[in-house]
Every structure is written in structure tokens, then in C-alpha cells.
Structure 1
């Protein structure tokens, strides 16, 4: 990445320590500098690909913006940084969508539909029933937590039937690989890392099997002005359409940004459904995006992460998204 883009690799650090480093590295109110975009992301294809494209294609510069990007290991910690005014924008998976739904941030753009989440078990564990009474690691508030709760409900179980242990993603990788936990609510590409050490692990549950749509999204802090959001949305839309037209080049750019192999990035991208900006704008106008968010909201209410399911218009700036596309 060019020197103009600040990239701080926090992915392997514990969440609390990662956040403290980020807060020290970033300063100022999120609404103060209209030319600087402080953007958090997760180090995977979903979180990084559009940012890699925007930098390489000079889209930030064309919009009169300068991007500073920071890696995080999950969505919730980015929402904390947004709330503190230490980030302007971030990327979240579907499991963290309850945070903007609870008023902690605004969804400014849908990124992809992801089906990368799994409940995994040690070799020989073949069902949710086999996990009864066993230690199951999960990064709480993420899509790993989401798929675990979906799988438990489908098996007629609750978290009381397992020994649920809150862990950050890097700890889950080491704990599962060393046999300290029996299962995990987790996600690709990190599962591929575990497979190298535990090739016989089992995939017990899969979000794709539900038949539902699980949107990933870009979010903005509540104090970021609408004018700035409009510019950033336009950049994301331009990068999104370039991604659709140049899938192989996108793999190369993303792998380079994440400092992993193209084969790893390609495998990661295989769990993702991308949509053109036109499709996303049409689905926003038709209310289909709202339906995705409402269905997630219903899940979060059942899971007691939300007291009630809000109107998606309260936290998804769909009007801004469609206006940016129409310009």
C-alpha cells in the first residue's frame, strides 16, 4: 500500500489491547476533518477488497479524500472506536449488525452476502448434540456467535447446554488447534488456518444451509456528517463495480493488501456472494435489503441482543446509497 495510507495490523492482538492502540494512534472528533477518512476493516476478502481497490484506483483522491485504514479482528471493536470518535468508518459482518440496529452507528452501504460462518467440532464431533456439556469458543457479538445460536436453536438447544467461552478470534485458533476447546462458532478464512493443524475437524453447521441472506456492511459513526458519508458511499460504489468487473485482479490486490497468498484470498472469496451497485440500489429501493436487516433483527431480539427490532430506516441510510448511485 502507498505511504499515504496508514495500515496498522492489529488483527492478532487481544481486542482490548487492539482498541487501546487504535485510540492512541487516532485523534480528533470523527466529524472534524472532512478530507480524512479513518476506516477500520477486518483482514479478509469482505473487509479489505473494496479498500484495496479504492487505493489502487485512486478513488479516494478523485473524491478529494485521503484514507487511513486500520485492521481490527472483529466488528464490535470497530463500533466501539466509532462511538469514541476515533474512527469515521468501519466494516462489520452480519453477526455485529445488532450494534447499528441499537443505535451505535449507521449502515451506509451493504458490501456482500457472506456464508463463511460455521460451527466446527474436533474430529469425531458430528452434531450439535455431541457438543452438549462441552467447551465451545466464540467471539461474542460476531457472526461466529450468530451461527452458533442459530445452530443451537435448530437442534433444540440453548447456550445452557454447552460450556460457552468468549474468546477473541486469534485465541480460538490456538485453543482449537491445541484441543483446549471442543468446538467453536467461527468463520473463514480463520477456519482454514485451524484446518492446517486439525485437518480432521468437522463442520457441524453452516449459514448457507439456512437459506437466509447474511449481509456484510460498511458503517459510519453517528457524528460523521452526511456530506462526508455521501462521498465515501460513492467511492465504495465505484470500487464495488470495479470488483465485479475485475474479479481476478481484485484477488491479487486484496492478497497484496492482506499480505497473504492469492490462493488464500481466492478460497476466502469463495464463501462470498458479491452484488453490483445497481443490484444493491435496486434491492434497497424494493425493500429487499430492509427484509434482510429485519430478519437479522428478529434473530437478535430472540437472542436478547436487542429489546426490539427497529425499522431498518433508523440505521440504514438507504436514501443516501441510492442517491449516490443515481448521480
Structure 2
């Protein structure tokens, strides 16, 4: 079954499964903190992530066997990769995965659609590493009028960021590719081709795709998203879990988070080794490793952190509301960082806030 058909099937399942998810989670929305005991270890943990450098925590955790080590011999890790967050959320709602690395806006949408019953954010993963890359002749935001700009998927984090920026500049768009700037949601691998052929004029994409557009096709950075946020910090990737899975298997969630923290520690202590490890994982997933200059540039543009940078999540939700892709939503309770902070404390590291 090809990837497009898989996504269509998951989307259909999601429409039916979300009701089941909400019912199974109950009314409390308590996440891991509601569990009264450690629960039995599941035979399998299904983890999602993207083949992006912004998901290097997951790439490294899988490649170095950190998840398998912490989960132990009684539990098998099964992984799934996605192009963008909405597809990962569809899989989570359909019960196809238990946890996933994802960006802020899909997590917000999952929280909103399930009325706070389906997911919890349990750790941060990465900040930065997102750019609007355009053809050299485009000098300003105004120059985007009449142009085609790609994003990974309608409603994903980069899609919302682009639509919000254009709206703030008084430039009209719509969800069907119309308006003064035509926004074209497409898979990042396709964006590499369409930018090279001139079928699109730019793209708001995460690493390593931004660096590849620059180094392989002569693109230039028009917007570094870090410049749009206080102190240049915003969440681009965090780890979420299904609430029902967390209630049934809190000890397993803790093991996932222990592996997650160890992966981020490895990135901080050995950046060169982390680059090599992440590239090996990408080669296995995509069939082709990144060129050294692309890999190095991509890693330099990202800060890997256990802090979910909660304030930026709230702002992202506000942006999605303003561009018409989200109804106003109360995010109170979306974080459950209790286990993360226990893991950090055991390692002598500072806790991270959920506000």
C-alpha cells in the first residue's frame, strides 16, 4: 500500500477512532499523573517521528538503540515515520501509534479535537531549524505576491507560521492555494524537486530540507523563524503520548522519556557523533545520507532541548486561530512534565516549566 493510500485510510479511521479515544480516556484528562501504579509493560511500543533533523532526538534514540535499551527485552519498539504532524496525529487517533514526535500545531489540534482527552505533551525536543527559503530574485515578503510557496502539510506548524506571517503583512491566502500568495502543501521530498524545477518559488520548511534547498538549488533564506520569536526560541518538536497508553503504562512512558533525555544528552556531549548517528538513521529511512555540508548546517541551526518552550505553544495556537485553522482552545492541562522532571532530577539536571 503506497504512502498516499495509507494516509487516506488513516484519515478515514481517525474520524471513527477519535470518539473511541475520547471515551477510552475518560473525563479526567489526567495523563500519566492519573495512573495509580506502574502498569504492566506492553509487548510493543509504537513510536512515530519524521525523517528530519528537527527530529534528531528520535533518529539518534532509534539508531543507538536507546529506546530498546530502556524499554528492556520484554517490550519491542516499532517505529513509523511521517512527513508532517497532521498525518502523525491521524495515526495516533486511529490507534496506530502510542507516542510521536510532532510539532506544536498538530499537538494543539489533537488536544482541541479530542477536548483534551487524547494526548499529553511529555517532553520538549527541539527549537529552531525552520526557514522560509526562496528564489534569489525574491527580496521581501511583498515580493511573494503572485508566487507559489510550499509547506509540508495544510495545518502543520510551518503552514500555520507562513499563513500567519502573510496575514500580519496584509497579504491574503486561502486553504485552496488561492489568494495573493499560493500556498502549496506538499511532502518535503517533493518540495526539493519542485523548487529545483521552478514549479514553486519558495518553501517554509524544517531542516534538513531548508539547507538542501539552499545548497542544492541555490535558494536563499528570506525568513529565519528564530527571528520571529522572543530570544529566538520556539518549539519545533516535542514528544506526545496517547493519554490512554500513558494511564495503562506509566512506567513505559518513563522509559521512553529516559531514552529521550539520554539522546539529547548525547547530542549535547558529542555533536559530531550525533551528526554521524542521525545521518546513518536518515540513510536507512530514505536510502540516501545527507551531504556533510547540509548535515553540518542543519545541526547548527537547531537547539535540542528537553524544555517544550510552553509559551511558544500558546502563541502558535493563537496564530492558528487567527488564520482560521483552529477554533479558540483552552490549553490548560496539555502538558504533563512530571515524569520528565523526575528523570532530569535523577540525572542532576534542572526541571523544565510547563508555562
TM (normalized to structure 2)?
Answer: 0.73
Structure 1 residues not aligned, in runs of 5+? 1-9, 24-28
TM-aligned CA distance change 1:322 to 1:261, over 3 Å: same
Matched pairs, number? 297
Q: Does 1:220 align with 2:244?
A: no
User: Which of the residues 226, 231, 253 maps onto 1:208?
Assistant: 226
CA change 1:136–1:240 in 2 (3 A) is closer
State whether residues 101 and 312 of structure 1, in contact with CA within 8 Å, keep that contact through their aligned partners in structure 2.
no
Task: Output the CA distance in 2 between the equivalents of 1:58 and 1:291.
Answer: 29
1:272 aligns with 2:307: no
Match of 2:49 among 25, 33, 41: 41
> Which structure 2 residues correspond to residues 22-41 of structure 1 after superposition, within 5 A?
34-41=42-49
Change in Cα spacing, 1:137 to 1:55, as seen in structure 2 (3 Å) is: closer
Question: Aligned-pair distance for 1:197?
Answer: 4.7
Task: Flag the 1:51–1:132 CA change in 2: closer, same or farther, 3 A.
Answer: closer
Judged with a 3 Å threshold, the aligned counterparts in structure 2 of structure 1 residues 207 and 253 are, in CA distance, closer, same or farther, namely same
Offset at residue 55 of structure 1 (A): 5.0
Q: 1:242 aligns with which of 261, 266, 270?
A: 266
| SS of residue matched to 1:225 | helix
Secondary structure of the residue aligned to 2:137 is: coil
Whole-angstrom CA distance in 1 between matches of 2:108 and 2:70? 33
Cα drift, residue 251 of structure 1: 1.4
Residues in 2 aligned to 1:222 and 1:19: alpha-carbon distance in whole angstroms: 23
Task: Tell me what 2:81 maps to.
Answer: 71
For 1:272-309, what per-residue CA distance to the aligned partner results, in whole angstroms no more than 9, with x for missing partners?
A: 1123x5xx3xxx7xxxx432322222222212222113
CA distances 1:207-242 after superposition (whole Å, capped 9, x unpaired): 111134321101222431331322312221232223
Provide the secondary structure at the position in 2 that maps to 1:242.
helix
- 1:270-309 aligned at under 5 Å gives the runs 270-275=300-305, 277=306, 280=307, 289-309=309-329
Residue in structure 1 matched with residue 277 of structure 2 by the alignment: 253
Deviation at 1:152, TM superposition (A): 0.9
Q: CA deviation at 1:84?
A: 0.5
Alignment partner of 1:231 is 2:245: no
Q: Is the Cα contact below 8 Å between 1:76 and 1:96 reproduced in 2? A: yes
Question: What CA deviation, in whole Å up to 9, does each residue of 1:188-223 have, x standing for no partner?
Answer: 211333335531x33222211113432110122243
User: Does the 8 Å contact 1:138/1:165 carry over to 2?
Assistant: yes
Moved more, 75-84 or 173-182: 173-182
Query: Which of residues 127, 147, 150 in structure 2 aligns to 1:134?
Result: 147
Aligned to 1:158: 172
8 Å contact kept, 1:143–1:186: no
**Structure 1 residues 214 and 312, CA, compared in 2 at 3 Å: closer, same or farther?**
farther
How far apart are residue 127 of structure 1 and its match? 1.4
Aligned partners of 1:100, 1:322: CA distance in 2, in Å?
24
| Counterpart-to-counterpart distance in 1, 2:262 and 2:202 | 40
